Structure 1
């Protein structure tokens, strides 16, 4: 039989048992109330003439009704223990549910260990402390002792891991990483600004160099044109360190003779 079929059969059986238990409980309650009301005179009671030999029992119906009511109430009183037994059988029969319960109990116990709840170091005392903690937990009160013991032993085995990755250490690591991220973001912003300034300065330098080359080119052009004009007018130009001095050609020859 496949796993799905087994699961469906168990689910159907559990539902049938729950419905049957509910019907028995309702029948017992109704019969008990009706019998009590009949004894007090508010409702009629069962009439069942019963004769044993020559003796007739006129109240036999009431006795049978009272006995049946007591029997059903006794059955209802036994239902909780029967339901607990069925739940225990279902827990031990269904391995996946048991493992999920163990995993949930271990998760809660390991989280408490990371928070520093447990303080005992000896193995027996530490496991016992964890079992008591899990028993008092509101979400794990219905688990079996074996499940709590397995989860406690798993938590004790991973106590070094819980100490290493405690909430305090994890919070400190997260804070350090957040600070490093802020520093990296600040460095990235400063780097982008510095790179932008460097590019602007390089662009300005190239622009200034281009303007200087243009000025030198225009100055050379002006000198050439001005020299040609002086020659046409009969002047010669004398170049000094910073100026070009125009003088007549005769004066220039006299200065040359001297």
Structure 2
């Protein structure tokens, strides 16, 4: 029988903040908000906080968001981090796993249920294809950490519905509303929470795209997304430098 959750804190980076799933209030919605909606419908007085900020690295999330989540004393915590680290040359998935495990141990010590995530297989993602090996190592560590500390695990690597570009936004790095909807459905299933959506979505066949059209799309992506991303890496800046958490406190979620 599923546990009745009265409070939920989400921590992480842009994936958990909800890029690029537009919300009605000017903020991004995302899978975490979608899960909170389902939990709020089941439990009167339910409260929700989302501490995630785009661009954050694993160490930054562990140093700031994890202590904030522990202080809030929720029943449920979702923790997804490391994707931005894996994009960087020289990322060490073994070192990252030690940091990740320490944070999970602290979160579980509070008595909260914790949900962890593997990432999506990056073989179809231009920015992350070359990092597939270290991604696989890190996500195997996460599976082991989930087993060791009794956490729920959302395995995005196996989600074929996310292998289609129709689940992703124009930057080819963040999911769109459909992608977030599939992830929310998977989280609900893992938690034993009813959901109207099915993450085992089968996309209809796509029409063949003219090669010239594809080349124009690729050039546009390089100009509008890849070059700015590389520029931020070279300058040592982040898209989240001026961004704060959209829901920093546990508050009722309508």
Q: What band does the TM-score fall into relative to the shorter chain?
A: under 0.3
Larger RCO, structures 1/2 (Cα 8 Å, 6+ apart): 2
- The structure in which a higher percent of residues are helix is 1
Structure having the higher Rg:
1
- The structure in which a higher percent of residues are strand is 2
